[in-house]
Amino acid sequence: MADNAAELVSLTIDGVPLKVPKGTLLVEAAKQIKQEIPVYCYHTKLGPAGLCRVCLVEIEGTPKLQIACNTPVADGMVVRTQNAKVDAGRAMILELLLVNHPLDCPVCDKGGECDLQDYAMAYARGTSDLADPKTSKPKGVDLGPTIVLDEERCVVCQRCVRFDDIIVGDPQLVLKDRGVRDMIATASGDPYRHNFTGNVTELCPVGALTSKTYRFKSRPWDLDRTQTTCTQCSVGCQMFSDVRFGVPLRTMSVEHDDAISDGWLCDRGRYNIGFYDAKERITQPLYKRGDTFMQISWDDAFALWARAITDAIHLSGPQSVGTIGGGRLTNEEAYVAQYLFRALGVNNLDWRAGRQRQATPGSRGGTLADLERANAIVVLGDSPADRAPVLDLRIRKAVKRANATLVRVAPLDVSPVPSIDVVDVAQAAAALPATASSIAVVWDGIDAAAVERLLDALPENVTVRTYITSEQGNARGAETMGMHPRFAPGFAAAENGLDTEAMLAAASDGALAVLSIFGANPALRHPNGPLVRAALAKTPFVVVSELFMTESAKLATLVLPAKGAFEKNGTTLNATGDALPVNASLQAPEGVLSDLEMLVGLAEQLGVNLPAQEAVHAAVIEAIAQAPAFDLGDHAFRTRAAQAATIPADGLRVAVHSNVFAGDGTSAHDERIVALRPLAEALLSTDDAKVYGVSSGDRIDLEAGGLTLHNLSVAVRAGIARGTLVLVDGLATAPANSFAPGAVVRVVHVRKGDSTLVEA
């Protein structure tokens, strides 16, 4: 806030002398002496707006009351936040706010945690001269897939409007009409939709903006609150899980989580909590006999699993056993998983089940605060807006507030903040300002070679920080805990095992006897879908721990019902290397175990002694404390290079991109976020759209190697290279990995927007 933090200003508030940095606003200075100044429109993260006028204070020498939210401190200033004049001003503002605010507190979601209730109690007169009816405005306005608006309750603080503008950079909400008739609405009239909409329900000081998922569900004082870490992506936002009668009713951000979430949550993290009590959840181990699954007991499940492993090791050695997964486990679970399998001599361990190859940025990894302070930011690969939404808000903050230069290599989306979009790494390096002394590189852990080329092209005297946004929340934790064919915990050298690619290749050759998959769905997420399906079909004993019958679970021999993140305790390691607590707020359904409990059950059957809980905890902390000595391009990661840039002669080459709401597990089985899931889209370049005679909204069928994907919705995008067709990763309805990597597909049918069918 202050340009020069060292320069202090002395002032007196309510008789208490204090010194604060020059430029500090009175409303913030008063917090130092624990004197609360009421605010509606002011918000620490949004700054002053001067609209609600409730933060009135008296400043000696100024005849009129002043607003504390927009008054910077001055030397010798004498401020009174409480006296008859101030009280009268505030009482007037509250009386006025209540002229048209409906007194429907008994049925208002905000009741009990409402700033209008609280300040009315603290500052209002208690009586009113109001003798006329209140204005009538629309109630229950459907703003979009997530938010419902009660126009009558709105106090026009415009925090929601300013959030969209200042924080998100996508100013959808505006104030329409004027005077007492003014209303919050989207400027276009289109549904209010971006990845951060839920935050406006928390910013709203009253009950005007409410979440569809929580509306009329509970009184806040009836909720059991637990603070935990969101594990839906690798940012690690702190959040509250608010539970009533065993059902997670809502999540809330943690206001003081400046280091990680900056106080925000994305809509995936906030709203995707409805799967815990989904009826499709698996609640008993399932064992496949022939083509059908039968329910079995946990004892039988452990026995069968242990027997399969023992037999495999006995017959073909530990190299015939493999384990995939870890990015959805806690650090403790990942540690125990690798401990158990390594104890058996099994070195075929890999957390990687999707496209990502690397999760730990290595020696140049930065913090989120570093990211916010970077002079320039280069984004490579999948958009952080879809991989790590709240991290993307930091990028926007750096660009909007500190004028950082944002350079994006071959992006598929439109940046909400000014960006220089280039086609390759060489152009990216050239686009960076010569004055940039700190550069952040944000990538997706897929094509390390491209990042290396970029880093090589950067001047030597600049500070470079790298960031990897992961496909799964605890990818970095799993990697650090040694769920990796070359790393033991803490990146210590391990006896080499097969990585996921090699395991799948071995399995499809019939060389793998047991494959255990923990919290991963390679059948949908691995880029080579045909290989995964062949590998799982060929492997005699496949175990999958899951919440739902995913594509991988369907191909398993033994399916183990697993707990979700709100149902277990442990720690997770986020993209920037912060170890964060995962605290249980829910009771898991009966019959469901955590992956840790499964591993304990398996170890008992195998006769392996696992370390005690305290020892696991200590080992996890020690592993995290080991600073990774490697950087990009370490041979341990075997980079997955981007597809050849050649334009196929006949057809289109398939590429994929992430969408924050894609996935077939927690996202697919949550009725609360149905409207947020992405369409099965095929993104095409403008050129190819012309070639195929299609435009956005048309539907196409794709075919390659005898496989067909039906009814993909066409979206024409300028940023896409000619000859490339981009599919959404991880959509069960249209798996992007249906075809082999780099497959060239043919467009076989086109359905125009008016439903006429055209043979392509």
Q: Which of residues 210-239 bind other proteins (CB under 8 A)?
A: none
- Least distance from C-beta 49 to other proteins, angstroms? 6
Q: Which stretch binds other proteins (CB under 8 A): 176-184, 629-637, 665-673, 678-686?
A: 176-184
The answer to whether the CB of 510 falls within 8 A of the CB of 503 is no
Residue from 4, 106, 177, 456 that binds other proteins (CB under 8 A)? Answer: 177
Number of other CB atoms surrounding residue 626 within 10 Å? 12
Among 131, 315, 629, 649, binds other proteins (CB under 8 A): 131
Q: How far is the CB of 86 from other proteins (least distance, A)?
A: 11
**Taking CB under 8 A as the criterion, which residues in 180-199 touch other proteins?**
180-182
414-418 own/partner pairs: CB under 8 Å, 24+ apart = 416/168, 416/169, 416/170, 417/169
Single out the residue of 15, 61, 106, 179 in contact with other proteins (rule: CB under 8 A).
Answer: 179
* Site membership for other proteins, residue 88 (CB under 8 A): yes
Binds other proteins (CB under 8 A): choice among 2, 96, 344, 740 = 96
Look up residue 487 and give its two tokens.
């790393």
Q: Which residue has the tokens 């959030």?
A: 163
Stretch that binds other proteins, among 129-137, 196-204, 345-353, 383-391 (CB under 8 A): 129-137
d(CA 751, CA 758): 6
Indicate whether 135 belongs to the interface with other proteins (CB under 8 A): yes
Answer yes or no: are the C-beta atoms of 584 and 569 closer than 8 Å.
yes
Site for other proteins in 500-559 (CB under 8 A): none
Which tokens in the block code for residue 698?
Answer: 């048309």
- Assess 93 for contact with other proteins (CB under 8 A): yes
34 near other proteins (CB under 8 A): no
Q: Give the closest residue to 543 by CA, choosing from 232, 314, 298.
A: 298
Please say which residue, 83 or 587, places its beta carbon nearer to other proteins. 83
Tokens in use for 235? 């940012």
Q: Which residues contact 327 (CB under 8 A, 6 or more apart)?
A: 351, 353, 359, 470, 471, 472, 473, 474, 475, 478, 519, 520
Rule CB under 8 A: choose which of 17, 50, 140, 697 binds other proteins. Answer: 50
Distances (CA, A) of 317 to 79, 309, 322, 348, 351: 79, 10, 11, 12, 22
- Of residues 74, 130, 621, 674, which one binds other proteins by CB under 8 A? 130
Residue 56 engages other proteins in binding (rule: CB under 8 A): yes
Decide if residue 70 touches other proteins (CB under 8 A): yes
Contacts of 265 (CB under 8 A, 6+ apart): 196, 198, 199, 230, 237, 239, 251, 252, 253, 390
CA 222 from centroid of its chain's CA atoms: 28
Please choose, out of 96-104, 240-248, 307-315, 610-618, the segment that lies near other proteins by the rule CB under 8 A. Answer: 96-104
Q: Is residue 141 part of the contact set for other proteins (CB under 8 A)?
A: no
In angstroms, the CA 657 to CA 666 distance is 19
CB environment 340-352: b (16+ within 10 A), e (fewer)? bbbebebbbbbbb
Min CB(417)–other proteins separation in Å:
17
Instruction: Give the residue from 68, 65, 63, 62 showing the smallest Cα distance to 50.
Output: 68
* Beta carbon nearer to other proteins, 53 or 244: 53
Write down the residue that tokens 């130092």 correspond to.
Answer: 32
Task: Give the residue, chosen from 132, 190, 614, 754, that forms a contact with other proteins under the rule CB under 8 A.
Answer: 132
**Cβ closest to other proteins, residue 88 vs residue 621:** 88
How far the first Cα of the chain sits from its last, in Å, is: 59
Residue count, binding to other proteins (CB under 8 A): 35
Question: Minimal distance in Å, beta carbon 193 to other proteins?
Answer: 22
Query: Using CB under 8 A as the criterion, what x/- string covers residues 381-400 for binding other proteins?
Result: --------------------
Structure tokens at 321: 């056993």
Q: 63 or 290, CB closer to other proteins?
A: 63
Which residues, listed in sequence order, are joined to residue 439 by a DSSP beta bridge?
376, 464
Amino acid identity of residue 542, one-letter, is: V
401 interacts with other proteins by CB under 8 A: no
Q: Is 2 in the site for other proteins (CB under 8 A)?
A: no
Residue 16: strand pairing partners: 13
Length reported for the chain: 760
Q: Could you tell me the two tokens for 736?
A: 């992007």
Q: Which is nearer to other proteins, 14 or 182 (CB)?
A: 182
- Of 180 and 647, the one with the shorter C-beta distance to other proteins is 180
CB of 505 to other proteins, least distance (A): 59
504 phi and psi angles, rounded to 5 deg: -65, -40
Lookup: tokens for 673: 């976020």
Q: Which is nearer to other proteins, 89 or 489 (CB)?
A: 89
77 binds other proteins (CB under 8 A): no
Which one of 26, 30, 49, 745 is in contact with other proteins (CB under 8 A)?
Answer: 49
Span near other proteins by CB under 8 A; candidates 89-97, 378-386, 578-586, 686-694: 89-97
Which amino acid is located at 69 in the chain?
C
Q: Does 647 bind other proteins (CB under 8 A)?
A: no
92 makes contact with other proteins (CB under 8 A): yes
Residues in the site for other proteins, rule: CB under 8 A?
A: 48-54, 56, 64-65, 70, 88-89, 92-93, 96-97, 99-100, 129-132, 135, 155-156, 158, 174-175, 177-182
